[in-house]
Structure 1
Amino acid sequence: MRSYLHCIQAGRLGGKHGGAWLAAIWIVAATLFLPAMAQPPGPVPPLQGGLLTTIFPGAIQASAMTGSPPAAEVQVEGGFGGYIFSTWSVIHSTGYSGAPIDILVGLSRDGRITGAVLRQHTEPILVIGISDADLKAFVAQFSGLSIRGKISRKAGEAAGRLPDAISGATVSSAVIGDAILTSARLVAESRRLFEAAPTVAPEIPEVKSWQDFIASGAIGHLRLSRGEVAARRGEKLDHDEEEDEHEDDPFIDLYAGVVTPHAIGSPMIGAQTYNRLRAEMAAGDQLFAILANGLYSYKGTRYVRSGVFDRISLVQGALTIPFTRDRYVLIENLAFPDGDIPEFREIGLFILPADSGFDGSLPWRLDLRVDADDANPVVFSLAHTPQASSAIKPAPEPAAEPAPAQTTPTRQPQIPSQPQAHTTVQPPPPPAQIQAEAQLPTAISIEPLWKRAWTTSVPEIIFLTLMLTTLTGILLFQDFIVRKTHAYLIARNIFLAVTLVWLGYIAGGQLSVVNVLTFVHALRQDFRWEYFLVSPIIFILWGYVAVAMLFWGRGVYCGWLCPFGAMQELLNEAARRLKVPQIRVPFGLHERLWPIKYVIFLGLFAISLYSMELAVIASEVEPFKTAIVLKFVRGWPFLFYVVAILVAGLFIERFFCRYFCPLGAALAIPSRLHMFDWLKRRRQCGAECSICAQHCTVQAVHPNGAINPNECVQCLKCQTLYYDDHTCPPLIASRKRAEKLRASGSLIAEKLSEGKK
């Protein structure tokens, strides 16, 4: 026990127990390299019966899902009606946990969502806590939503207004909505639903390798050697033997071309990245790829300040189109098979807006400007004429066809049994009522979900930033702030009240062990920051907590920013004022109870390696969802559990935090590496005085006076006592000695004064 306390006081991972902690960290790290357990959704069930009519009311029959992206053609009375598709098949949709989420969606030929059915998900809040009826009602609200015009999230706008989020599941609701809209947009564009007349998509062979990519005719090539560039710039190389060897070295080896067609772009950068980009692009936008090797960078550095890549420009006829930073997409690697791809120094995609006037089917020229500080710039050009198979050209408008003959009730619509691999015949012109929408945009450019979340949360972000800045100031200047005990305690209670009411109930900023499990789960799968950016408040909080743990340990969150922890402490404060007797757990028993939370966390972590869904259910050991997220609107078993914890907290301050909180355990493990140990102690602490131990919020002060950083919540009560000369015995003794000296000095001065008289 002494060695353990010595490790705590030293603030390092040493000795027997330090080795155990290091072993635990290595075990957690090793699990990141285990294969992920999450399974992608299985095959789409047959689209018939109740499932078919739920997704697409009025549907008679649906074909198999074909094409790229895959979608099933739906027949209704009178002929072709629209499409049904799977969001997983279209964009590999994932939820906030990073696990697959799949929704079957119906899309009419006039660009309206006809219905949606959630097939699979492991969203934490939706696994338990939200009823199936609420979930179905939310998904059903997308029925009738048009993706042709502007879609708004503002209340009070009826046309094109997104459904209201499920109470207590804002992030998951946004994830579902984004999957539906993004997939619908991509299917609509691939089938040309927004064009005024039917078109025939040209046959474009799918590229499967780098050689296919070059042979497709989509890409142009320009190779410049050092000698060629030097000669063009009027420079003379030193013709020694060494320079002759390097004269043919590549100055730049440049590839560029339009990769908008799915058969070209998807194999090049990967289906998931391609589908995400296409869904975010407006109708008519083009994807232009530039890949380069060699000594010279086509990007340069000036674009960082100016926002324009001034070394390259695209020329077509009289048009000169600049490349701008806001339409640049960095690609780390190509998706072609390994061993088949040249190593590129720079890979970039540029989105060319439709209003730029660029036509990917016509010849174009890429100008490369080569400049240096000591030479005049020269321009090299890559001229390219796309092959017919790689360019998308609108087909000539067909002659008007007679109206279809009236079908009898017994006649079944004809479904193509063998759809063409590369040629897609598009539906007939939209019905007359669509013409009323002629003034709407031809398609909606859907902003990424995480960007929408941040732009709509600016007030909350500002307030949270002020709140975190205030807390940082308290921690940095704690030695001065805690000297005014009464003022500090009032300020702390106000801060806790803000944490509970605003951060917990209004902003939804309750962190959970599920966040930790989700992060680890995402690292073992397709990790993308977009998963976590969809909730700005949670993301900012976790970022702050991560930094704060490095400086002060886990107590910054547990003691100041946890809404449920604030609820417990404020209730206990009220209980004390009402003279509710407090129970002080004997330290020997207390020391054997607090490891329970670590066992709970490790158990949840182990379960998550097998099934995130089971881990989410098991994480109900946390009362946060019931008390904070769902605001006590749950079934009586959950309410009974929360009330029992809160009642226990009236007698034992922060009862749940002490013994059962898995989130606190998860934060405590890395917190052992914290840098600062600013909580002051005296040599008399533990030996002559135990006042701090008696007043500690979570009993983190050991009998010998040492503070256990794993349990400390940084409430700073011990520091108010440390500076209180009416409570701390050493300070009391010093104060009394000073008072005696002052009294003696006053008495002597008084006698001297009387003597003079």
Structure 2
Amino acid sequence: MNRPLRFHSLLRLFLALLALTLTLLSTAHAGVMTRDALKSIYPSPYQVGEKDAALPVWPVFRQNATETQLVGYVFESMDLAPIPGFSGVPANLLILLDAKGNFLDVRVLSQHEPVFLEGLGPAPLDAFVAQYRGLSLTDSVRIDTPPRAGGKREGGAVHLDGVAKATASVRIINQSVLSSALKVARAKLGFSGASDPDRVARVNTEVLETRTLAQLEAEGMVAHQALTNAQVEAAYAGSDGEGLDAVAKAEPQALFSEAYIALASVPSIGRNLLTEAAWKRLSDRLEPGDHALLVFYRGRYGVIGEDFTAGTVPDRLLIKQSGLNIEMRDLDLELKPRESALAGMSMRVFRVIAQAGLDPAQPLDVTLLVRRSKGVIYPERIDRAFHTALRLPTRFVVLPPEADGGWSAPWRARWPELALLAAGLAVLAIALARQRALTANARRFAWFRQGYLLFTAIFIGWYAQGQLSIVNITGALQALREGRGLGFLLYDPMTVSLWAFVLVSLVVWGRGTFCGWLCPFGALQEFVGKAAHALRIPQLRLSRAADARLKLIKYGVLAAIIGSVFLSTALTDSLVEAEPFKTAITLGFVRSWPFVLYAVLLLAASAFVYKAFCRYLCPFGAGLALLGRMRLFNWLPRRAECGQPCQTCRHRCDYGAIERDGRVRYDECFQCMDCVVIYHSDAQCAPRILEKKRARVVPIRAVEKL
């Protein structure tokens, strides 16, 4: 039994449900740390110093008897690695890193991840980041989902417990922690800017080949730099440093500087250039992962200055990778060369610690700085740099496995799910492209549709967590508004894959492909509506005018949410809860009771008003309806008689998407294809029934004569 329902009554019902959601939500506020706030977090015996002028970090000290020791640096991840989460806003973490690159403390200051705001709540995220305490930047971090044994070391990696239903979010958090910590380590602790220490190749210590100095030089494993006075003078031509070197002017072809430079920590280099005893002495001074830069030099300009202090950083020699400096320190070792050609030369060996991230598989730029001074009281210094390169053949290095921290890891880990999703989307695309064959048999089509909606609800929704949402749009807008990229979306391969298909389908078929076939919450509503019909629950049939007015509500909700993106992140976090997707699909109704009640009420409403939320309140559906105006085809078949005079499809359309004149409103069409089934049915389509009647031949029997 269908009952007319007044527009204002239903409008009040939906506004009341929306108000219930918004008034029960909490908001999160991000804050910026101050020195006083940090003092309260790290009280005595710790002392928080003044904020660094060049880098947004605070040094932390500890009083030890009469000596004040540097403990490390504390900083906020948002200042150094603002990687957006799925709300488009980066999480902000407070990180305390010690002077050796170990995590002393990691805690959440603020976050806007939808799954952690409510539902799971903040506790699982707090527990996740707490696992970093005691780890080092030299540790290779792996995130296990489902969790297994947090902090367990296995195969050279440390395994952290992930968070079920929040896999992509914790990967973004992990990237924020490591990226921000590495920036501090590079700037303050001597780490290299070229590579993450966990993502560099290692020297292959199993390979040992006998080579002469000439052979090593020919293969690029030893860099040979020889400069004459004339070459150096030419570099100063036209500058204030030109002509300041009297010796260079007097003897232009004489040797200025000559050096042989090599990574002696590579066995095939060090053991060929040094005696066995010298090689052993060097090896004993190196920790695992360390590198040793061996330099033999001669000439009137050496690689160290006259006032150089042993054990410190060289003042004339620099090494760089990817354009960024790598710190090295003198080992103060005297090592005897094996090669006679090196016997008369001076020698220094410099150590590069493993944490610096030097990658032996990548080219290494070695720079000799030459400095001239002009003036006496306040001399002007004029520098020139002379470069040479080192590169190891690949047989001498072991390339690292792909790191777990980047966005490619979840794509590889979820390839079986992505393959199944691709197969499902291919089936749907073929079905929509061959609609006549699909809808020729009404019973077969009904089974296909219900089966596909089960696939959508169970696999895409609950299992693969592929529910598209207005949060995807607000997150992208917030990221773009703040000048960040959209790379954070790549951490959720299911969402990206679905979006790619939906964007194509918007152009070909319109918004109904997602709303009618690929929305898990929409599938749940349809099941509720079908069950209500089977149970003969009375349906509330709206008037055409009321239906049209109610459909405008979702555009108002969409406008409010989009507008909030430019006003307040906290407001956006609240407004997006107009969608029940996170409660019903992402969290499987495991959430605080107000949110569960809201989602259940919306599903229950579908028992009386078919897919009420989708038609009247869904902001994501409103957004897709607007984007669906890019549609290129009117692909649903129509007859000349549709609407004039036949009204069968219009009366049977549960979405009210067919006008009185027979036109289909694609912005309100959910592609249930019931009208297509009717169109091809000889038993349901009135024009086809009439055509068959007109074509029927009535046999005339002869009348028997009496």
TM-score band, normalised by the shorter chain? 0.5 to 0.7
Rate the CA distance shift 1:603–1:724 in 2: closer, same or farther, 3 A: same
Query: Is 1:60 aligned to 2:46, yes or no?
Result: yes
Rate the CA distance shift 1:567–1:360 in 2: closer, same or farther, 3 A: farther
Query: Helix, strand or coil for the counterpart of 2:607?
Result: helix
Distance 2:111 2:293 in 1: 39
> What is the CA distance between 1:475 and its match in structure 2?
1.1
Query: Is 1:153 aligned to 2:71, yes or no?
Result: no
Query: Is 1:394 aligned to 2:325, yes or no?
Result: no
Corresponding residue number in structure 1 for 2:643: 686
**Contact (CA 8 Å) 2:96, 2:106: kept in 1 or not?**
yes
> What is the CA distance between 1:724 and its match in structure 2?
0.8
Query: Is 1:520 aligned to 2:506, yes or no?
Result: no
Deviations 1:313-371, CA, capped at 9 Å, x for gaps: xx9933349xxxxxxxxxxxxxxxxxxxxxxxxxxxxxx9x9899999989xxxxxxxx
> What is the CA distance between 1:394 and its match in structure 2?
2.1
Query: Is 1:558 aligned to 2:515, yes or no?
Result: yes
User: Residue type matched to 2:689 in 1?
Assistant: I
1:101-120 equivalent positions in 2, closer than 5 A: 101-108=91-98, 111-120=101-110
1:361-440 equivalent positions in 2, closer than 5 A: 388=317, 392=326, 394-397=328-331
> What is the CA distance between 1:85 and its match in structure 2?
3.1
**Contact (CA 8 Å) 2:141, 2:404: kept in 1 or not?**
no
User: Which stretch of the first structure deviates more once superposed, 513-522 or 178-187?
Assistant: 178-187
- Report the number of matched residues: 509
Deviations 1:563-611, CA, capped at 9 Å, x for gaps: 0000000111122122222222111211111011111101111111112
Distance 1:185 1:318 in 2: 36
Corresponding residue number in structure 2 for 1:289: none
Corresponding residue number in structure 1 for 2:219: 319
Unaligned segments of structure 2, at least 5 residues: 1-27, 204-214, 222-262, 270-290, 297-314, 321-325, 334-351, 356-397
**Contact (CA 8 Å) 1:75, 1:82: kept in 2 or not?**
no
User: Which stretch of the first structure deviates more once superposed, 143-152 or 38-47?
Assistant: 38-47
User: Which stretch of the first structure deviates more once superposed, 662-671 or 607-616?
Assistant: 607-616
Distance 1:649 1:706 in 2: 25
Deviations 1:396-441, CA, capped at 9 Å, x for gaps: 2379xxxxxxxxxxxxxxxxxxxxxxxxx9999xxxxxxxxxxxx9
Distance 1:48 1:682 in 2: 73
Match of 2:80 among 77, 83, 90: 90
- Name the Cα RMSD after superposition: 4.0
Distance 1:86 1:398 in 2: 38
Query: Is 1:468 aligned to 2:400, yes or no?
Result: no
Distance 2:317 2:658 in 1: 77
Distance 2:330 2:292 in 1: 16
**Contact (CA 8 Å) 2:171, 2:405: kept in 1 or not?**
no
User: Residue type matched to 2:636 in 1?
Assistant: L
Corresponding residue number in structure 1 for 2:677: 720
Rate the CA distance shift 1:445–1:508 in 2: closer, same or farther, 3 A: closer
Corresponding residue number in structure 2 for 1:75: 62
Query: Is 1:137 aligned to 2:55, yes or no?
Result: no
User: Residue type matched to 2:317 in 1?
Assistant: A
User: Residue type matched to 1:646 in 2?
Assistant: L
Match of 2:166 among 142, 155, 169: 169
Distance 1:93 1:317 in 2: 44
Query: Is 1:660 aligned to 2:617, yes or no?
Result: yes
**Contact (CA 8 Å) 2:77, 2:177: kept in 1 or not?**
yes
Distance 1:735 1:701 in 2: 25
Query: Helix, strand or coil for the counterpart of 2:407?
Result: helix
Query: Helix, strand or coil for the counterpart of 2:93?
Result: strand
Distance 1:138 1:156 in 2: 13
**What TM-score do the two structures reach when normalised by structure 1?**
0.60
**Contact (CA 8 Å) 1:97, 1:531: kept in 2 or not?**
no
Corresponding residue number in structure 2 for 1:479: 436
Distance 1:456 1:505 in 2: 18
User: Which stretch of the first structure deviates more once superposed, 551-560 or 676-685?
Assistant: 676-685
User: Residue type matched to 1:142 in 2?
Assistant: Y
**What TM-score do the two structures reach when normalised by structure 2?**
0.64
Query: Is 1:490 aligned to 2:447, yes or no?
Result: yes
**Contact (CA 8 Å) 1:632, 1:639: kept in 2 or not?**
yes
1:528-567 equivalent positions in 2, closer than 5 A: 528-567=485-524
Corresponding residue number in structure 1 for 2:599: 642
Corresponding residue number in structure 2 for 1:183: 180
Rate the CA distance shift 1:319–1:59 in 2: closer, same or farther, 3 A: farther
**Contact (CA 8 Å) 1:74, 1:84: kept in 2 or not?**
no
Corresponding residue number in structure 2 for 1:254: none
Rate the CA distance shift 1:390–1:143 in 2: closer, same or farther, 3 A: closer
Corresponding residue number in structure 1 for 2:235: none
Corresponding residue number in structure 2 for 1:300: none
Rate the CA distance shift 1:44–1:573 in 2: closer, same or farther, 3 A: same
> What is the CA distance between 1:539 and its match in structure 2?
0.8
> What is the CA distance between 1:156 and its match in structure 2?
3.9
**Contact (CA 8 Å) 1:283, 1:445: kept in 2 or not?**
no
User: Residue type matched to 2:218 in 1?
Assistant: A
1:574-613 equivalent positions in 2, closer than 5 A: 574-613=531-570
**Contact (CA 8 Å) 1:554, 1:668: kept in 2 or not?**
yes
